[in-house]
Every structure is written in C-alpha cells, then in structure tokens.
C-alpha cells in the first residue's frame, strides 16, 4: 500500500508540503486526498477510543479515507471533537507537517456504529477493548463483512495474533500492529508477525506504516509480545509497591524518572494507557501464560472498580485535567508538573485553554 509523499522523506514533496502547511488554515487551500485511495479502498478502524481516535488521526492526516466503527453512540458523539483537538495539538508538537490540512483530515473520517460499513475496507485496524471473547467475535464478524483480500491488523496489547487469526478464513492476512499511545506522536510500532502471517501481509502493513511516517519493529507472536510482557509486570509491581505503603505514586515515578532517566514513571504510564486496559491486559497475559505474576494487584483492581481509570477519567494514580484527548495525554500529571519542562508546559497551557490557541505557546 502506497501513500502520498511525505515531506520529511521526499525533498520534492517537502517544498510543496511546506507551502501547503503555511496555508493550512486557509479555507481555499485544497490538498488532494490520497491519490490511490480508490484502488486501496477505505481503511477501517474498529473502536473509537483512545487508540482508535489516535490511529484514525494518523491515517486521515496521511491522506487516507477512514471509516471508524464503534457500537457505543456515546463514544461516537465525542469522537469528532477529540479528533479535532488531537490534530490541533499534534500540529504543535510533531516534527513533520501532515499531508493534508485539518479540515480535510476531519472530513476524511466517517463515524458509524455499523460494522457493515466496512464492506469496502481493504485494511482494518482493531482498536476494540482488550478482551479475548470480544475480539474473537469481532474478527469473526469482520471476516464475514470485509472483502476477502482485506488485511486485519490488531492493535491488541497482549492477545496472540494467531488466536485472532484462527477466527477467520484468512489467517495469513492477520497481523499485529501494536501502536504506542498517543499514536500521532509515536514513531515506532511493534509489529507482530503471527505464525501464519504471509510476506505480502507484512509488506502491506509495513508499507502503510511508512506512509504514516512510522517505523515497524517486527517481533514474533507471543502473549504481550516484547513490550507488554515486560511493561505490564512493571506497572503491576509498581502498583503493589504503593499498595504495600513502600512509597506513594509520585515517589515511585520519580525514582524511575530521576534515577533511571525514564521520561515517565510506570504509574504515570499506567494512567496514560488506562488502568482498565492495564487490568484487562494483565488478565489476558494471565490466561495466555498461566503465570500468576500477571494477576492484577488489589490496588489496580480497586482503582478501576472506583472508576479511576487514569488520564481518560481525570484520575488514576495521579490526578489530571479532564477530559483529555490522546494527545493531551502528553501533559504531565497535576502532582508532577515541573516548570523547567518547557515543551510539556506549552502542551499543558494549550490543554488548559482547550487546545484552541497557538498563542498558548
């Protein structure tokens, strides 16, 4: 799958793109959508939550037409505003300009509750909740609805790709694309090649990622792959440390930031991912490995039961200004704000202002 030339990789396109970018807010500026979108068909995104909106943004800003499906009317009601805010904030913080102007990117995404609207999709990204039965059912339904040549990429945090591929009659066309959060600002994707994923599926997927300005690191299929096999244990242990009274959340995260040089501590990372997603992912790892180390600790389960889901609810291990978009999620927790962190301060100001003004910078 090929896409429009990106200015960061193509000097010829760069001049034109920069010109377009200067006019990004000019209503008369028309940038053609993805030249070969008719040939490649729309791209489907299933689940319009944290990851679905972020990935829809990446696709739309690269010039693709997107159909985003979510069965929850409430999720769809918020989604266009969250997408708009995400585009506005990403414009301030990423290195390369988008391929298309904001209005065109917004128009490129169609929101629907109907999976049947993916009947012409050639590539579908699963961003539905991290629950095995839910995703298995979804893959069976996608297999019925989508054209036989369509590729299915799951953004799952931990479910083995082959388990979802087994629900379809096209196991060779199923692959894992573990985008990081927030997707528009993260350049690298963990790509999971299932045992039956074909070379063509891998090539198509890596091509699409290149088109989005992202790199793929290909790993083999296993519960949690590389990233979450390690990260989920770390978040669970960090929560256990808080549960046992060894340190409070700020101290735990400061240890990782100030002693190990991590950009973000494990508890703030858990808040960014969503503590409900963390618990769901730990249960997936527990089920798929049988390893009791993945049993979510009481503190994590209690926070989720209390509705403290992290960034998306305004409180988790830390407190946040709410509501937040996926990109606003880059702002620091209220209890960890550091005046010296200028880019983060700029994001914070933009967020406090509803992300409406570049003057916030």
Ligand X SMILES: NC(=O)c1ccc[n+]([C@@H]2O[C@H](COP(=O)([O-])OP(=O)(O)OC[C@H]3O[C@@H](n4cnc5c(N)ncnc54)[C@H](O)[C@@H]3O)[C@@H](O)[C@H]2O)c1
CA distance 303 to 280: 13
Q: Is 281 in the site for ligand X (CB under 6 A)?
A: yes
| Closest-approach residue to ligand X (CB) | 49
Q: Is 156 in the site for ligand X (CB under 6 A)?
A: yes
For residue 235, the minimal CB distance to ligand X (Å) is 11
CA distance 328 to 320: 10
Closest CA relative to residue 152, chosen from 177, 119, 116, 185: 177
Q: Is 127 in the site for ligand X (CB under 6 A)?
A: yes
Pick 190 or 348: Cβ nearer ligand X: 190
Residues 19-58 that bind ligand X (CB under 6 A): 46-52
**Sheet of 215-220: strands edge to edge?**
109-112, 66-69, 43-46, 123-126, 151-154, 174-178, 188-193, 215-220
Residues 178-197 that bind ligand X (CB under 6 A): 178-179, 181
Closest CA relative to residue 59, chosen from 100, 91, 31, 95: 100
Choice from 129, 172, 207, 332 touching ligand X (CB under 6 A): 129
Pick 36 or 72: Cβ nearer ligand X: 72
- β-pairing verdict for 66-69 and 215-220: unpaired
Structure tokens at 249: 């959340």
Which phi and psi angles does 231 have, rounded to 5°? -65, -40
Q: Is 204 in the site for ligand X (CB under 6 A)?
A: no
Pick 34 or 135: Cβ nearer ligand X: 135
Judged by CB under 6 A, which stretch of 123-131, 142-150, 210-218, 255-263 contacts ligand X?
123-131
- β-pairing verdict for 151-154 and 174-178: parallel
Which phi and psi angles does 323 have, rounded to 5°? -80, 160
Q: How far is C-alpha 358 from the chain's CA centre?
A: 24
Residues 249-278 that bind ligand X (CB under 6 A): 273-274, 277
Residues 6+ apart with CB under 8 A from 132: 159, 163, 284, 287
Choice from 61, 130, 211, 328 touching ligand X (CB under 6 A): 130
For residue 110, the minimal CB distance to ligand X (Å) is 15
Choice from 24, 92, 134, 202 touching ligand X (CB under 6 A): 134
Pick 91 or 227: Cβ nearer ligand X: 227
Q: Is 175 in the site for ligand X (CB under 6 A)?
A: no
Size of the site for ligand X (CB under 6 A): 27
- Element housing 197 (H / E): none
For residue 129, the minimal CB distance to ligand X (Å) is 5
Task: For 180-206, give one letter per residue: b (16+ CB within 10 A) or e.
Answer: bbbbbbeeebbbbbbebbbeebbebbb
For residue 75, the minimal CB distance to ligand X (Å) is 4
Residues 284-343 that bind ligand X (CB under 6 A): none
Are 100 and 60 in contact by the 8 Å Cβ rule? The answer is: yes
Choice from 42, 68, 98, 138 touching ligand X (CB under 6 A): 138
Convert residues 62-81 into a mask of x (bound to ligand X by CB under 6 A) and - (unbound).
--------xxx--x------
Binding site for ligand X (CB under 6 A): 46-52, 70-72, 75, 127-130, 134, 138, 155-157, 178-179, 181, 273-274, 277, 281
């Amino acid at each position: 799958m090929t896409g429009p030339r990106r200015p960061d990789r193509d000097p010829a396109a760069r001049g034109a793109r920069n010109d377009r970018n200067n006019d990004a807010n000019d209503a008369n500026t028309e940038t053609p959508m993805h030249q070969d979108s008719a040939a490649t068909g729309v791209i489907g995104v299933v689940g319009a939550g944290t990851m679905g909106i972020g990935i829809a943004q990446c696709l739309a800003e690269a010039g693709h037409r997107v159909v985003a499906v979510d069965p929850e009317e409430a999720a769809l009601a918020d989604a266009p505003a969250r997408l708009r805010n995400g585009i506005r904030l990403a414009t301030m913080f990423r290195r390369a300009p988008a391929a298309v102007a904001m209005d065109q990117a917004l128009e490129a995404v169609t929101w629907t509750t109907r999976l049947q609207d993916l009947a012409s999709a050639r590539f579908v990204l699963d961003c539905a909740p991290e629950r095995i039965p839910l995703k298995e059912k979804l893959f069976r339904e996608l297999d019925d609805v989508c054209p036989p040549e369509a590729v299915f990429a799951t953004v799952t945090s931990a479910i083995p790709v082959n388990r979802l591929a087994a629900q379809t009659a096209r196991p060779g066309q199923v692959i894992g694309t573990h985008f990081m959060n927030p997707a528009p600002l993260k350049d690298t994707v963990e790509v999971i090649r299932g045992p039956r994923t074909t070379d063509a599926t891998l090539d198509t997927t890596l091509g699409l990622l290149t088109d989005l300005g992202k790199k793929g690191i290909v790993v083999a299929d296993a519960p949690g792959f590389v990233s979450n096999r390690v990260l989920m244990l770390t978040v669970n242990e960090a929560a256990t440390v808080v549960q046992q009274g060894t340190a409070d959340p700020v101290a735990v995260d400061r240890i990782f930031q100030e002693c190990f040089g991590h950009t973000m501590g494990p508890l703030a990372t858990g808040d960014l991912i969503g503590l409900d997603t963390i618990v769901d992912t730990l249960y997936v790892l527990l089920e798929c490995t049988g390893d009791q180390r993945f049993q979510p600790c009481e503190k994590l389960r209690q926070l989720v039961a209390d509705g403290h889901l992290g960034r998306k609810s305004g409180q988790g291990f830390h407190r946040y200004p709410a509501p937040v978009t996926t990109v606003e999620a880059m702002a620091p927790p209220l209890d960890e704000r550091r005046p010296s962190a200028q880019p983060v301060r700029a994001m914070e100001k933009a967020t406090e202002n509803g992300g409406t003004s570049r003057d916030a910078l």
